[in-house]
């Protein structure tokens, strides 16, 4: 295990933060798998999984079983991790500028295209290396004067030339689910199955440029810009939501670590015996098919359905109880699908999102992720 420390520029005098990067296998060996946890800093299940993964990888490395390079960042957001408001963790948005930490990553296809013009060949493998080089140079050229933009740039720099990128998150109360590019649904399926996921949500553009799209969609864009040249989609990235934010235990982290090692073996980064039984398949559904259920009125939230339940159209998901009028409002689903996440909050402000149901058919457009 090689440990690297990346200092972030300090925002105020007398403070300093850094990213710690753990590297396994030979530097620059392929495939390169990049795993980061807790970009939304208070999402801890992935952080514990990253710790257990590092322990397993160190043992596999000692046995000479790592064939590629595996890079793990267990604390991808030390800025957000330090944000606490009177005892409550606040890790999704940056207090300094209000932005969601997992949005607004740099769009690199145009700057990379400028560097590539006139250099691509009719050899796909050669183009892959030229594109990786152009992407690395484009990240290096990004300006980052403050701590938050430097964090986004450094995370991109670590992942931009990886073959596989796993961004570990969690929801409020949830079953495991994954987000990935429509083009990568098939590649994500064995990982989703090994994790025991109940939803695999796909979109080409989900809005506001989250981390997984920043590293992966660039290849699709470049293939479009240079349509006369062979360009394979050489970075598979997925956002993995490891259940709800209090689902932190060694048993769950070890289960998820085993799934990631299984997937890394399928991808050729590790030499390990694969389990004899194939896990149950998980079918991809469009992110545009997710129904966000919002509270039509304020009230006490009483859920009638659990996460992981299959919901039928018209079924009551929750009731909102008005503690003043004593009225009750039923909240029903407009679609059939899996209730894959719901809020931990038990008092809803009018308009608040309470649950998400993954349906089969697209029903939305525009920005598809939660704010």
Contacts with Zn ion by CB under 5 A lie at 40, 43, 169
CB 298 within 8 A of CB 349: yes
Least separation in angstroms between residue 230's CB and Zn ion is 35
216 or 234: CB nearest Zn ion: 216
Least separation in angstroms between residue 169's CB and Zn ion is 3
Q: Which residues contact 217 (CB under 8 A, 6 or more apart)?
A: 109, 181, 204, 205
- Using N-to-C axis directions, what is the helix angle for 147-159 and 124-140, rounded to 10°? 160
- Radius of gyration over alpha carbons of the chain, in Å? 21
**Alpha-carbon distance values, 149 to 91, 95, 101, 225, 354 (Å):** 16, 13, 10, 27, 31
52 or 169: CB nearest Zn ion: 169
Least separation in angstroms between residue 206's CB and Zn ion is 13
Least separation in angstroms between residue 314's CB and Zn ion is 31
In angstroms, the CA 63 to CA 83 distance is 40
Least separation in angstroms between residue 258's CB and Zn ion is 22
40 or 152: CB nearest Zn ion: 40
CB 352 within 8 A of CB 296: no
43 or 212: CB nearest Zn ion: 43
- Residue written as tokens 């290396």? 129
CB 9 within 8 A of CB 146: yes
172 or 333: CB nearest Zn ion: 172
């Amino acid at each position: 295990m090689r440990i690297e420390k990346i200092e972030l520029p300090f925002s105020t005098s007398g403070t300093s933060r850094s990213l710690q990067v753990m590297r396994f296998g030979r530097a620059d060996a392929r495939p390169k798998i990049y795993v980061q946890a807790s970009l939304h800093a208070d999402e801890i299940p992935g952080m514990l999984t990253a710790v257990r993964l590092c322990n397993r990888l160190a043992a596999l490395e000692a046995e000479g079983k790592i064939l590629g390079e595996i890079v793990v960042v267990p604390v991808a957001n030390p800025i957000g991790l330090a944000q606490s408001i009177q005892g409550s963790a606040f890790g999704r948005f940056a207090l300094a500028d209000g932005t969601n930490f997992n949005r607004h990553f740099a769009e690199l296809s145009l700057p990379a295209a400028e560097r590539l013009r006139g250099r691509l060949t009719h050899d796909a493998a050669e183009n892959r290396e030229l594109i990786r080089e152009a992407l690395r140079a484009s990240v290096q050229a990004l300006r980052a004067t403050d701590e938050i933009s430097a964090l986004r740039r450094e995370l991109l720099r670590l992942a931009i030339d990886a073959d596989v990128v796993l961004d570990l998150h969690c929801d409020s109360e949830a079953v495991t689910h994954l987000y990935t590019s429509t083009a990568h649904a098939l590649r994500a399926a064995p990982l989703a199955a090994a994790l025991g996921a109940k939803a695999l949500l796909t979109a080409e553009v989900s809005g506001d440029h989250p981390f997984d799209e920043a590293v992966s969609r660039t290849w699709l864009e470049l293939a479009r810009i240079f349509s006369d040249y062979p360009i394979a989609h050489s970075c598979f990235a997925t956002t993995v939501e490891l259940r709800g934010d209090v689902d932190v235990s060694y048993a769950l982290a070890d289960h998820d670590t085993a799934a990631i090692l299984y997937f890394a073996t399928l991808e050729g980064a590790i030499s390990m015996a694969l389990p004899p039984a194939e896990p149950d398949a998980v079918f991809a559904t469009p992110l545009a098919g997710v129904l966000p259920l919002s509270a039509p009125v304020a009230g006490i939230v009483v859920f009638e359905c659990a996460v992981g339940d299959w919901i039928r159209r018209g079924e009551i998901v929750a009731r909102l109880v008005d503690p003043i009028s004593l009225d009750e409002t039923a909240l029903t689903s407009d679609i059939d699908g899996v209730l894959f996440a719901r809020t931990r909050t038990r008092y809803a402000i009018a308009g608040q999102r309470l649950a998400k149901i993954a349906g089969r058919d697209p029903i939305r457009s525009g920005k598809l992720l939660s704010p």
